[in-house]
Each structure stands twice: as structure tokens, then as C-alpha cells.
Amino acid sequence: MIPRKKWATYTAHEKELMKTAVTHASPDEYFTPEYAAAFIGVSPRTLQSWRDNDSDKLEYSKPCRSVVLYQARVLHGFLQRMTYKCTANYRKAS
């Protein structure tokens, strides 16, 4: 596990390692917002915004007050739902 720190201080290599960890994880494994962000290609702040404003966009678990976790199965499913063959199939989120 790569230690948590400010998102801007992660190197491209560290982000790639986090993405690889999620890619090869068991579907039931849980990850921090940093790992989820690296896998999806957004910032942890974007994930926080989704949690605050559009909670059905990406499911998450909150086992206690200050801990947010994302399940690998949910992250993989999210990317599958966001895959399109052409822009005619793209529906803007409402």
C-alpha cells in the first residue's frame, strides 16, 4: 500500500501502481479514494464531489465517519458503464 498524502504529490509511477493494484484485485477488495481515483482517472476531489452531489454515480462504503472505501467490483463496473463505441451512444448525466 502506498502511504496516503496530498494528491498533487503522488508521482505518475505511484498512480500507476495504485491503478494496477485495483486492476488485479479481488472483486471484493476495498480501496481508498486515492486508489479509486487513480484507477478511474480522476482526482480524489472529483470523487468527493460525486459523493456530495451525485451519490448514485459511484457507490462507496463508509464504515465509519471519516473513512470512505470503494469496492473493486464497483470501480470496474463504473468503467464498463462509462464505455461507449461512439459519441452518438453517449448520454450526458442528468
> What is the CATH classification number for the domain harbouring 76?
1.10.1660
In the chain, how many domains are there? 1
Does 23 reside within a domain? yes
Q: What sign does the dihedral 26-32-36-41 (CA atoms) show?
A: negative
| Residue 34 pLDDT level (bands cut at 50, 70, 90) | very high
Q: What's the average model confidence in pLDDT over 83-87? A: 69
Q: What's the average model confidence in pLDDT over 2-30? A: 96
Q: What are phi and psi of 62, to 5 degrees?
A: -130, 80
Does 53 reside within a domain? yes
Question: CA 11, 16, 21 angle in degrees (round to 5)?
Answer: 130
What are the Cα distances from residue 17, in Å, to 3, 14, 76?
Answer: 12, 5, 16
